[in-house]
């Protein structure tokens, strides 16, 4: 029996679609952990997590629809667990299977690190949201395909208000904030390195497990390192520009204010090279 292929019908509205595909598809993936600094014996290993996946391609104006099943077929062709090293291969398969000029991929997933409390050294896992965003364009005028890859980490931090500290006889208001840090690099950058870069610019980093000596430490550390959101994005930008591996960055800082009914926000985006 021959089934009618509706997607390949001609559309007469002459409107191309920039991106069409599937999103909010959950899939198990493996992410490479960074080797521990100062330990030559420790080699990278994979961390298993679950990503929320979006796969899309462009659709020429003359096609009525795309073949949604092919997106899932491409993803599943890599087995029950996907490795981040397969990103480019997935995009190449999407271009070929869907006869597209551009293919796009997004993986959003929780990434876990084991952190020690600053004083007691009590260990606990803490999670960070990470986003891989990639595009592969088959350029007709270029000898090679054009590949773009952006890594984004969302890092929760503590910030203490410099103005509040300056005008208060006792104390200062502080709050949890969030820094969204995106980069394009010449070579792959470890997720852990991006997290540490951001945390080093905050009033204090966050921990999952804190005993009383640890709470005293982080409270006092934040008080000694007050930062506005403006300070936060500028400090992260300075460190990003000092890294020769980073070609472009985008930094957003948002404070979930403890004494206001709104959030404070700042952004810097720059092409470094």
Burial class of residue 141 in the structure, from the number of CB atoms within 10 Å of its CB (0-12 exposed, 13-18 middle, 19+ buried): exposed
Domains of the chain: 6-271 (3.10.270.10)
How far is the C-alpha of 148 from the C-alpha of 87, rounded, in Å?
A: 11
Which phi and psi (to 5°) does residue 254 adopt? -135, 125
Go through the chain and tell me how many residues it has.
Answer: 273
Residues 230-243: b if buried by 16+ CB within 10 A, e if exposed: ebbbbbbbebbeeb
What contacts 260, CB < 8 A, 6 or more positions away?
none
Give the pLDDT confidence score for residue 37 in this predicted structure. 46
Give the pLDDT confidence score for residue 223 in this predicted structure. 97
166: left (phi over 0), alpha (psi -120 to 50) or beta: alpha
pLDDT by residue for the chain (273 residues), tens only, comes to: 666 666 666 767 878 899 999 999 999 999 988 876 444 444 568 899 999 999 999 988 777 778 899 999 999 999 989 988 899 999 999 999 998 999 999 999 999 999 999 999 999 999 999 999 999 998 765 567 799 999 999 999 999 999 999 999 999 999 999 999 999 999 989 999 999 999 999 999 999 999 999 999 999 999 999 999 999 999 999 999 999 999 999 999 999 999 999 999 999 999 997
- 259: how many CB neighbours lie within 10 A of its CB? 9
Give the pLDDT confidence score for residue 273 in this predicted structure. 75
Counting Cα atoms < 13 Å in the Cβ hemisphere of 123 gives: 3
Give the pLDDT confidence score for residue 7 in this predicted structure. 63
Q: What is the pTM of this model?
A: 0.90
Give the pLDDT confidence score for residue 250 in this predicted structure. 98
């Amino acid at each position: 029996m021959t089934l009618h292929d509706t997607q390949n019908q001609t559309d007469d509205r002459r409107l191309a679609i920039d991106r069409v595909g599937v999103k909010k598809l959950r899939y198990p993936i493996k992410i490479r952990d960074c080797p521990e600094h100062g330990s030559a014996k420790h080699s990278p290993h994979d961390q298993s997590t679950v990503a929320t996946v979006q796969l899309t391609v462009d659709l020429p104006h003359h096609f009525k629809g795309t073949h949604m099943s092919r997106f899932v077929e491409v993803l599943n062709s890599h087995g029950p667990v996907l490795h981040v090293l397969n990103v480019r291969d997935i995009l190449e398969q999407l271009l070929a299977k869907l006869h597209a000029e551009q293919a796009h991929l997004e993986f959003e997933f929780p990434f876990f690190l084991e952190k020690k409390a600053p004083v007691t050294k009590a260990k606990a896992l803490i999670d960070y949201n990470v986003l891989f965003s990639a595009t592969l364009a088959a350029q007709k005028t270029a000898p090679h395909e054009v590949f773009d890859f952006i890594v984004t980490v969302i890092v929760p931090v503590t910030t203490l208000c410099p103005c509040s500290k300056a005008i208060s006889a006792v104390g200062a208001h502080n709050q949890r904030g969030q820094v969204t840090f995106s980069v394009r690099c010449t070579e792959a950058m470890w997720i852990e390195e991006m997290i540490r870069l951001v945390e080093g610019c905050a009033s204090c980093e966050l921990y999952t497990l804190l005993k009383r000596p640890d709470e005293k430490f982080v409270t006092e550390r934040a008080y000694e390192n007050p930062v506005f959101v403006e300070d936060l994005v500028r400090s992260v930008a300075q460190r990003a520009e000092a890294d020769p591996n980073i070609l472009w960055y985008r930094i957003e800082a948002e404070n979930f204010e403890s004494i206001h009914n709104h959030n404070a926000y700042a952004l810097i985006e720059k092409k470094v090279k």
